[in-house]
Structure 1
């Protein structure tokens, strides 16, 4: 939350969550901490479901979404920070996302 409030990160922050339910719940909890609804400062994006807006600074995304974002824009223009949460729960998608991120 400090990253959002103090603004040292230039660009959007992506938070990788491996599961859809976790992504939605984390976004909900972070938005509540800011006294907002998801889709304002904090939002989420997963396959077939998106809750982001023009003011969204932190997006909680699933592994597949992050991988597709990197494939579409290998430089992730407009993104200042990517946080890999629950990375100890290794998966092929998370490993691929890390490999692609290390290439940026």
Structure 2
């Protein structure tokens, strides 16, 4: 293999490794999010999986995270989160706002 081909393979391998996002999971049970405070790493993209364990749908909504999606009963939804600066990013379940709420804490 020549040096150019080796360099291209190294660049591709590095890009694939950098593209892999950390995965985090939130569950909805009894119209509450668990954990209510989800910690994720700053300045890195992330994958968020929201699992709805309830027998009714819930809408996961977060204006700061730019996410709004209904998660049907007994199913899950996956979201890609852009790299975020340190801080707190609130989210809630629009169908049960009094109990379904939390924050993503970026550190």
- TM-score band, normalised by the shorter chain? under 0.3
Query: What TM-score comes out, normalization by structure 1 length?
Result: 0.28
Q: Which has the higher helix share?
A: 1
Bigger relative contact order, structure 1 or 2 (CA pairs below 8 A, ≥6 apart): 1
Which structure has greater strand proportion? 2
Q: Give the TM-score normalised by the residue count of structure 2.
A: 0.27
**Of the two, which has the highest radius of gyration?**
2
